[in-house]
Amino acid sequence: MTNEELKMLLNLHKANKRKLQLMVAALLILLIICFTACIFVGSVDLDFKTAIDALMGKASWSQNQIVRDIRTPRLICAAAVGASLSVAGMAMQALFKNPMASPSVLGISSGASFGAALYIAVGYGMFQMAYGASLCAFLMAALTMFLVYALAYQKRGVNTLMLLLAGMAISALFSGLTSTIEFFSDADTVNSIVFWMLGSFEGSNWIDVKVILIPAIIGMILILINARELNIISSGEGKARALGVNVKNVRIMLLIGSSILVASSVSICGVISFVGLIIPHIFRTLGGPDHKYLAPMCILGGALFMIIVDTVARSIMPPHELPVGVITSLIGAPFFIYIMRTKKKEIWSS
């Protein structure tokens, strides 16, 4: 390679790096703008001055309540859940080398939902632990992820067909178990479980913000610190081992991080499908496969997507609101079909 060719490659690399940095910065600015704008929108519309006064506690009591105690914590929860599910989906797609891998497709969301439902129906009356539903959701999410991975793993690595079939089977199993719990539960318990199945941020408060933020930060850190290793593993586990990457340790950290993110999300809003499928695919297409930039883009893009969807859900039919999970499913199902038709080789190659 001549010096001119090397210089050209370096310039292309710098230009691409600058483009990715600009994309991350643009997403951050757009997220801040949308977050602020969504505070004004709802069944009770507020103008800019009233919303600012309410944030500072200078508006009427009802306006202060709407902005400070209802909309703001709800938007924070929505942003955290969107970011968590998106970056968890990104990690799974890279780890399993498959664009179809996501918390909902692999049954992890169903497993976490079953854990929360089990605690609501049985554990709450027996233990009454703080964040008991969150803990049970995390344990079942982790168990589901490792079970699906174990069923799909063969000597040459993860078998794609087995991965998808195992995810479908495990999802059906936990959905059936959750329905069984509903059948034998009283009306109040059934209503609580239905909340998990539909997915909604209705009633989110500052306690929920604490529940989601700490595990979300931990899970994201576990994935972000392994972004470089994830780039190497994506090109092949054999090559990664040759370059000195401890593939087993990285895989375990990514699985734990993804489980934490999915479980904490399910524990406050229930099952919200397809976010971990849609967002990583969009930003991998726009920004490329470098996880050092793809991860921040998924975090910001997922947060942006979820606050927009939640705002639509609570504003489209006032005073009623649609479950967020219904809207994401309506968006995600066609997207799922699109990926199946356009990414056949990547999906079915082992």
- Residues 162-221 pLDDT 10s: 877 888 889 899 989 988 998 888 888 888 788 777 888 988 888 889 889 999 999 999
pTM, two decimal places: 0.85
**Span 88-127, pLDDT tens digits:** 999 988 887 777 777 777 788 888 888 888 888 886 555 5
Q: Mean pLDDT score of the chain, rounded to an integer?
A: 82
Q: Where are the domains of the chain?
A: 79-90+101-339
Classify domain 79-90+101-339 by CATH architecture.
Answer: Orthogonal Bundle (1.10)
The pLDDT of residue 55 is above 50: yes
H helix runs in 153-236, sequence order:
160-183, 187-198, 206-224, 227-234
Cα 215 to its chain centre, rounded Å, is 13
Residue 158 sits at φ, ψ, to 5 deg, of -80, 125
> ω before 99 within 30° of 0 (cis)?
no
